[in-house]
Structure 1
Amino acid sequence: MSQDIHSEKILILDFGSQYTQLIARRVREAHVYCELHPYDMALDEIKAFAPKGIILSGGPKSVYDEGAPAIAEELFELGVPVLGICYGMQLMSCHFGGEVVPAGKREYGHAELQAQGTPGPLFDGFFVEGKSPVWMSHGDHVEKVPGNFEVVAGTANAPVCAIQNVARNLYGVQFHPEVNHTPRGELLIDRFVRQICDCSGQWTPGQIIEDAVIRIREQVGTDKVILGLSGGVDSSVAATLIHRAIGDQLICVFVDNGLLRLGEGDQVMDTFAENMGVNVIRVDAEQRFLDGLAGVSDPEKKRKIIGGLFVDIFEEEAAKLSDAKWLAQGTIYPDVIESAGAKTGKAHNIKSHHNVGGLPDYMKLSLLEPLRELFKDEVRAVGEEMGLPHAMVWRHPFPGPGLGVRILGEVKKEYADILRRADAIYIEELYRTGHYDKISQAFAVFLPVKSVGVMGDGRTYEYVIALRAVETKDFMTAGWYPLPYAELAHISGRIINEVKGVNRVTYDISSKPPATIEWE
């Protein structure tokens, strides 16, 4: 019997920081399971969760503001280690009698931390020659250190940047150890969860697979499962994992919605049906999706329509299988977090997820979501552990609604055909020139506007294609990728010459924020 990989877990209470998911990813990278929950999680729920440690995230508010986010007073009496980050440290300080005030000079960006006194168990090895570069993002600081706490480090602008009460395993940092801009920050989080919280590190790809297989078998029994196979990383890994668990009980439904990349339908069938022996039913639903999207321009409505049609088709296919009881999806943890935040009002709803927010109440199938606890990088690691091709596992992200949200405005077959051909040329050139694996995400966007051009001796009035390429560590922030001018010119020339209907190509040089990675 596999060990329970959820028996050691860290609770992260979210106060609204833009970096909260990064905290969770750093904990997972230390091979320890964790979950994100709102800051106002009830004390009884926290006790039932039984964490081995608690991390309090940062947040945009000030602790002294009226109605500022707070936590159950008894949280610090649970006897488990607590790490407060930024707002979390300030909240901890106030709770134990310290004082937080507006900083005379706010700190945003790089700062140099200077060690003071004995580092203690959490900070041991964090400083090099008594110093450590860190990333700051705060307008308040601790003016008065609470009793029984000692100062570990500070900066020129904020004398109190790291505090500890070793006897009670309470620690606070004003900086953000979870971001890449804090060198050795991941070591601090690793030290907290592995040494301070005494977690052994059971959360590994091999253990995740073994645990998932057992849970799928227990959950499903002898029932049939249908899964919407898109060819993307998440659905491909989910299909492989479920097939490993229950074999022929899995029936994959590949919905060709007319919004896929060039040749993707045949690739999906080759990989899963022919090479892996998975039972895949291919449904030609292009016209159905195009009819449903006719006249619709709003991106949220398009997502809901596409998600709803997927569900309808799954139900129709399931109805042909009298013993199909489960609908499997490639839902991953960020989908769950962001959709939950939208429902509770504790986070901004940037965009809904068709496989989380689009499921109607009347759906007759039960949900099977074997990846819903995993971040994208964990999904990829699990896929490689199971032997999926590296090129498939590390393929750039592709949105669930497909080209439906890469065609701006109304979706038409003409637009989809133009876009998929242009996108195929773009990706082919990125592979050829060695840029694909250096880029986090690259794709083409169809703009529903026409521009004047000249081809040969004739005037043209045709569509515009925008190219997007970004590099990022976490997809929460991203910078545009600097493709060389010569290669951009070659890609543009190929698209304009080879894709009928396009006479202009642009390159998107917007970063996230303020832009998003996808255009819709």
Structure 2
Amino acid sequence: MDTSTIVILDFGSQYTQLIARRIREFNVFSVVLPCTASLDKIKALSPKGIILSGGPCSVYDADAPAADPAVLAMGAPVLGICYGLQFITHHLGGKVVSAAAREYGHAEVNVVAETPLFTGLPATLNVWMSHGDHAQTLPEGFRLTAETSNAVAGIEDVSRSIYAVQFHPEVAHTREGMELLKNFVIGICGAKADWTPEHFIQSTVERVRAQVGNGHAICGLSGGVDSSVAAVLVAKAIGDRLTCIFVNNGVLRKDEFAKVQTTMREQLGLNVVAVDSSERFLSKLAGVTDPEKKRKVIGNEFIAVFDDEAKKIFDAEKSSGEEVAWLVQGTLYPDVIESSSVHGPSHTIKSHHNVGGLPEDMKLKLIEPLRDLFKDEVRRIGRDLGMPDEIIERQPFPGPGLAVRILGEVTAERVAMLQEADQIVVDEIKKAGLYRKVWQSFAVLLPVKSVGVMGDQRTYANTCAVRAVESEDGMTADWAPLPYEVLRTISSRIVSEVRGINRVVYDITSKPPGTIEWE
């Protein structure tokens, strides 16, 4: 790779992807590898620097996750964060023990030595701590650079260019965290800010062009920003050898099937084949109530439809002598992280239909040009591709559609009911000027009925939950404090206009402990 790269070794921290995202905000490319990655694999990336993430374990446990200690002697500067500090201490001859006073949450750190890592930072730092162990004895050659009243908070060995902090600079709660990371990435590592949207577009187009060769590809188009940007990128690489397939899976939003076709053809100039498979999907979902099974059913059926359409396209172009062999998807980094523990000993949260839900015997080979990007990065790429804001600013919509917003069995009747309620939520959020200010806003149909009174008559009908969250990348989220008048209007309209719903509730759960979607 011809760009500066920072390698992050993941020991299972829930914040690891946030480290990667922070570094990319400096226009420096970062890549996350499992802590078990081989030294050869790390060296192959020619990293300007290496960051060791936090993690849930203790370094002295028998089954503690461990990197090859030789990574500390590669010559590239190293920054340990939380568990990373303890890993450095433990493997270089120091001692890590269980802390008598554990530190969780806000803490004050006193800088006690001049160091390149803390250049330009105040003498007292307000940071975010999350650890139950601490470094009791430092390895030979290291010195203390920062401390709290309870524990070691920063260490360094400048001769080996190894630095470490016990707190988390990557989280927003650490006020000077970005400055500290910049000191390491730009100041100590000397990384260049050369990873830009322009560079990403150019390198991705070249890679896809080489990957596909003279072949053909189809793109699973949803109408959302991810698949749309992926389609435009691949079309830029292979032109009319890309056919976009937009499938009505029976769980789209109201009027979505018609609207997406118009937008993709007229505004983006994409070659779109629209396939109405709503009955096919709904029949497969009949009787299915388990969320994971819903996702896998939809993932399998999507691929089956794509296989069928690819065969039709090939049969229609026999003269070309080339088979459609590639499937383009708008998979993002958070999808991958939540679907499988690919980067360390972290837990799988849920399978995404386009990642963990794909069948093992899939005939098409995947092209996922956005697989290493976060949502905000995808939007930046879309803008540089000249795509309209109408598409770029669309709120995320799950691949399994309304199926994961209908708790319990998915039926045509329940889909129609939720479509109407969801449209009201979107309409009112837009009228209030909030659509671009919240990450997602939508309705959820619950498998709960309650007694109500309408027109002086008793009702026994469904409950609808309204969900709106604020987030930067979907990895974490806070519930959005929507104005009471907006909530009042949404509730009133849903109960009055959507037959079958007589109660509306508002979800005030953040992520974690909840997820953004209910399933």
CA contact (8 A) 2:28 2:195 kept: yes
Choose 411-420 or 332-341, whichever is displaced more: 332-341
TM-superposed CA distance for 1:212, in Å, is 0.9
Q: Aligned pair 1:39/2:38, yes or no?
A: no
CA deviation string 1:240-284 (max 9, x = no partner)? 111222221111000011211112222211211122221100000
- Aligned counterpart, 1:276: 268
Cα offsets for 1:373-410 (capped at 9, x unmatched) = 21222111101111222242222221110101000011
Q: Please tell me whether the aligned partners of residues 338 and 347 of structure 1 are also in contact (alpha carbons under 8 angstroms).
A: no
For 1:345 and 1:111, the matched residues in 2 are separated by 27
% of aligned pairs identical? 57
How far did 1:345 drift? 8.0
Judging changes above 3 Å, is the alpha-carbon distance between structure 1 residues 470 and 276 closer, same or farther for their aligned structure 2 residues?
A: closer
**Aligned counterpart, 1:229:** 221
**Residue equivalent to 2:84:** 88
AA matched with 1:481: A
Match of 2:339 in 1: 339
Structure 2 residue matching 1:438: 3-state secondary structure: coil
> Which residue identity does 1:349 align to in structure 2?
T
User: Where do 1:70-81 residues align within 5 Å?
Assistant: 70-81=66-77
Q: 1: distance between equivalents of 2:493 and 2:338?
A: 38
Cα gap change, 1:190/1:508 in structure 2, threshold over 3 Å: closer, same or farther? same
Asked whether the equivalents of residues 374 and 473 of structure 2 are also in contact (C-alpha less than 8 Å), the reply is: no
Aligned counterparts of 1:252 and 1:492: Cα–Cα separation in 2: 38
Report the alpha carbon displacement of residue 329 of structure 1 after superposing the two structures with TM: 0.8
Aligned to 1:359: 358
Q: Which moved more, 1:294-303 or 1:200-209?
A: 200-209
SS of 2:236's partner is helix
Give, as a single letter, the amino acid of the residue that structure 2 aligns with 1:352. S
CA drift of 1:48 comes to: 3.1
Match of 2:4 in 1: 8
**How much does 1:190 deviate?**
2.3
Q: Which of 268, 283, 286 lines up with 1:291 in the alignment?
A: 283
The separation in 2 between residues aligned to 1:498 and 1:403, in whole angstroms, is 19
Are positions 1:121 and 2:113 aligned together?
no
Partner of 2:147: 154
Tell me, which stretches of 5 or more residues in structure 1 are unaligned? Answer: none
Alpha-carbon distance in structure 1 between the residues aligned to 2:433 and 2:499: 27
> Structure 1 residue 316: deviation in Å?
0.4
Partner of 1:51: 47
Shift of 1:319: 0.2
Does residue 172 of structure 2 align to residue 180 of structure 1?
yes
Preserved CA contact (<8 Å) 2:340 2:348: no
Aligned partner of residue 63 in structure 1, secondary structure: coil
Q: SS of 2:36's equivalent?
A: coil
Asked whether the equivalents of residues 11 and 344 of structure 2 are also in contact (C-alpha less than 8 Å), the reply is no
Determine if contact 2:444/2:466 at 8 Å carries over to the other structure: yes
Whether the 8 Å CA contact 2:223–2:264 is kept in 1: the answer is no
CA distance in 1, matches of 2:236, 2:119: 43
Query: Do the aligned partners of residues 336 and 512 (structure 1) sit closer, same or farther apart at CA in structure 2, a change above 3 Å counting?
Result: closer
1:382 aligned partner:
381
Is the Cα contact below 8 Å between 2:329 and 2:366 reproduced in 1?
yes
Shift of 1:179: 0.4
Query: Could you report, residue by residue, the CA deviation over 1:119-145 in whole angstroms, capped at 9, with x for unpaired residues?
Result: x222211x22x1221111111111222
- Output the aligned Cα RMSD: 1.7
Q: Give the match for residue 403 of structure 2.
A: 404
Q: 1:104 aligns with which of 97, 100, 104?
A: 100
CA distance in 2, matches of 1:408, 1:511: 19
1:487 Cα deviation after fit: 2.2
Aligned partners of 1:208, 1:439: CA distance in 2, in Å? 27
Amino acid at match of 1:434: G
* C-alpha distance in structure 2 between counterparts of 1:391 and 1:280, whole Å: 18
The 2-side partners of 1:472 and 1:220 are apart by: 35
Cα deviations across residues 141-177 of structure 1 (Å, max 9, x unaligned)?
112222211221112222x211111121100000100
Q: Tell me which of 218, 238, 261 is aligned to 1:246.
A: 238
Aligned residue identity for 2:29: Y
Q: Which residue of 2 aligns with 1:262?
A: 254
